[in-house]
Amino acid sequence: MHAADFRVSTVLLDSPRTLVGERAAEVAPAVVRAAAGTGAPRVLLVAGNGFRHRVWAEPLFAAFQGFALRTVVHAGLPTPESVARLTDEIRAHRAEVVVTVGGGSVMDAGKAAAALSTSADRTPHAVVLACAAPADDAGAPPVVALPTTPGTGAEATPFATIWHRDHGRKLSLRGSALQPVSAVLDPELLIGLPAADLVSCLLDTLAQGLEGAWSIRADERSEWLGAAAWAQLAEVLEQRHTDLSAAHRGAALLAGHLAGRAIAIAGTTVCHAMSYPLTLRHGLSHGHACGLTLASVLRYNAQVGADCTDPRGAQRVRGAITGVVRAAGADSVEDLAGKVAALVRSPALPPPPELRHEAARIATEALAYDRAGNNPRRVDAATLTHLLAGSAERDHAR
């Protein structure tokens, strides 16, 4: 390992232990050994579909050949069925460490499966039931995360999203067992990422950065982390998303990680609550679904007053938003909203769905998620319907 190429950020010393830099293939085996506490651990590696076509795949996977290695591909969103299958793989391999190499869905699936692999009942139904209580980490294999997309922050959070399509519902599995012990942020792992995935992930970062700052559960740390995420992306947002430099890829990865740490503290808010029915109903990628309403919610929350739901008051909320505006190098809330709207209009993303005729239904479904209760300004079905319809009008007027 080249010491000059990797560094442990002084900001990121708490769990997960985070390495930032290049040469993941050289550093990852040592990280895995440290996680297992043994020289040659049994490793289950969970990777995304199509990973073998990425230029970094061969050297990275060759680096793990000294271990008792089993590789499993996880395609699509995590579901109770896919997580149950992974738990069986972990048990069958007697894995001592689970390594996830992929985007948010891969990391969430691997984290959830590792946390539940010690359970006697590992059926899909048991996965659904587990989402109702914190996951016990007794005996669960540690997780080492190598994100290949920026923005989800899954390598930094103690929870995982599971999609229960049969019930049209997004579930969340939470607990200390879901927290990776180490994360390796290597900008080389973003090489070959499709532009649509990159833009969606950047929108996820922007949403998590703002929500982590303005949430009623936010504290000074999450406010700082959310603003720092936007600061990291200030230059990246001005670049062509099809040709990012190594420095910009690294900034995007770090921004996503910082935003993930912010929501690990503060949780997400109403943008995420509205994103879940958008994903379930229209198949929108998670970041695209979050970004679709972010500009409208930003404008709405910036006008918070007597309807503030944060016991610390409206001034605290407006101050948190101002901190992000400054960090992003924006002139005003409207300027910041414009940056979000410009990214949502990226030609890399598919056209947005027509929402005006189903806004009320989506609003009602969004309010059923506890994320909506974290919003610092009071929301109800009428408010969310208006925000959704407003977002749709702006998108279709472009």
For 46, the enclosing helix (H) or strand (E) is strand 42-48
C-alpha distances in Å from residue 73, one per residue of 5, 103, 134: 29, 12, 26
Q: Hey, what are 291's tokens?
A: 């970004």
Give the confidence band of 111 by pLDDT, cuts at 50, 70, 90: very high
Closest CA to 100 of 139, 155, 153, 55: 155
Inter-residue contact 202 to 151 (CB < 8 Å) = yes
pLDDT the model gives residue 14: 61
Residue 268 has pLDDT above 70, yes or no: yes
Give the confidence band of 397 by pLDDT, cuts at 50, 70, 90: very low
pLDDT the model gives residue 394: 54
pLDDT above 70 as % of the chain: 93
CA–CA distance, 288 with 294 (Å, rounded to integer)? 10
- Kindly report the average pLDDT of the chain as a whole number: 90
Ramachandran region, residue 5 (left: φ > 0; alpha: ψ -120 to 50; beta: rest): alpha
For CA atoms 177, 179, 185, 188, give the dihedral sign: positive
